[in-house]
Every structure is written in C-alpha cells, then in structure tokens.
Amino acid sequence: MTDTPAVRPHVSFEVETTVPTTHGTFTMRAYRDLDTGADHVAIVSGEPVDGALVRVHSECLTGEAFGSLKCECGPQLDAALDTIHNHGGVVIYLRGHEGRGIGLINKLRAYRLQEDGLDTLDANLALGLPADAREYIAAAEILRDLGLSSIRLLSNNPDKKDQLTAHDIEVTEMVPLVVGVGAFNESYLDTKRDRMGHRLPGQLDTGFDPVA
C-alpha cells in the first residue's frame, strides 16, 4: 500500500500588515505564487466568514495606474474596495494577470490591433494568444488560507466562478459589478458580454447593491 502524495501548495503566505488607504483601512496579506513567482495580495475588511463578499481582481496597470478608458478595471477595483470597506469582505489582487494573462506588452499590441478594427478577443487570437489565459488556483488557495470555503463573488465573469468551483470554493452568488462604462470601452464590454459570456446587465454605470 502506497501513501497518498501530499498536495503541492501553489502559494505561500509571506506577511500581514495594516494599510490605511483612500478607501479605508484594510488588513493586507501578501502571498508568493509558487508557480509563477508573482506576488498576490488579499485585502481584507472585517473578519472573513463563509458567505463573505469577495472580489478576485486581475492586475491592470493601464486601467488602475494610468487611468485608461479602454477598460473598466480601475473603477471596478475602486468600487470593490469601497464596498468591502462598507460591508466587509475580501479583494484578492492577482498580479501577473495583465491583459487577461498575456502581459503588458502583448496587451498593448492587442490594443494596436483593435485600432485596426479587431475586437478584444480577435486581437488576442491574431497574436497567437489565448482569449483569456488566467488561472485562479492561487486565488482559491488564498481563500482557503483565509478560512473561506463559500463566497459571494463580486464579478461579471462566469469563468471565475467555474474555476473557483473546480478548486473547491463554493460560489453561492455572483454579484454584478457594472461600473466605468463609457464611450471608449462600450465595444470592449459588448465583446465580453456577447462573445465571452460575461454577465453585464444593461451595461449601465448606475452602481450595484452588494448586500441585496
């Protein structure tokens, strides 16, 4: 009879600290991704319990640091942080996910192809890259480290739910996060809704009720 091999961890916890921000004061827990070497952060408000509201957010330098209007990532992060500050919950910030996992340079290459008329999905494919290369096993392990096995997911992307579920995180509800819609990203959001299955009810920048 052979022993069952130990499951190899995909993240390691590194440090916890308290950080005051313009959105409120949060507990931040940093993790090292043992597969990619990226550093991820769990931004926590209150005591996480099963059923907590969770945003799994992909790094977006162009939208968050530079204020790009080609996506809604900056407003989504701001809204998520405001929400967990007000109601409790967690934002897991995943680095190395730029451009749905293709990296910053390829993301800008895809932007250039979009100027020639390709949509966000076809631009990636024209570069020989996947439409979405992101994986969420690190996020699932971070959630388990926080003691969470069941969450309400603040997201429009059903793939996040499917991947988290596959990694034994129960998603009891998907809470839509429709903010930051404007003239420069309407076609981008249309493509995410119509070709990538994102749930974008009305695409109205009217906010949302995370505690409904």
Q: Is 134 a catalytic residue?
A: yes
As a whole number of angstroms, the distance between CA 168 and CA 149 comes to: 7
DSSP 174: E
Residue 87 has pLDDT above 60, yes or no: yes
pLDDT at position 8 is 78
| Active-site choice (33, 109, 132, 152) | 132
The answer to whether the annotation marks 71 as part of a ligand binding site is yes
Query: What's the pLDDT tens digit per position in 149-190?
Result: 999 999 988 989 999 999 999 999 999 988 878 776 666 666
| Active-site choice (134, 162, 168, 190) | 134
As a whole number of angstroms, the distance between CA 157 and CA 112 comes to: 25
Topology classification of domain 11-97+134-196: Rossmann fold (3.40.50)
What's this model's pTM, rounded to 2 decimal places? 0.86
The answer to whether the annotation marks 12 as part of a ligand binding site is no
The DSSP bridge pattern shows strands 170-175 and 24-33 to be: unpaired
The answer to whether the annotation marks 29 as part of a ligand binding site is no
The answer to whether the annotation marks 10 as part of a ligand binding site is no
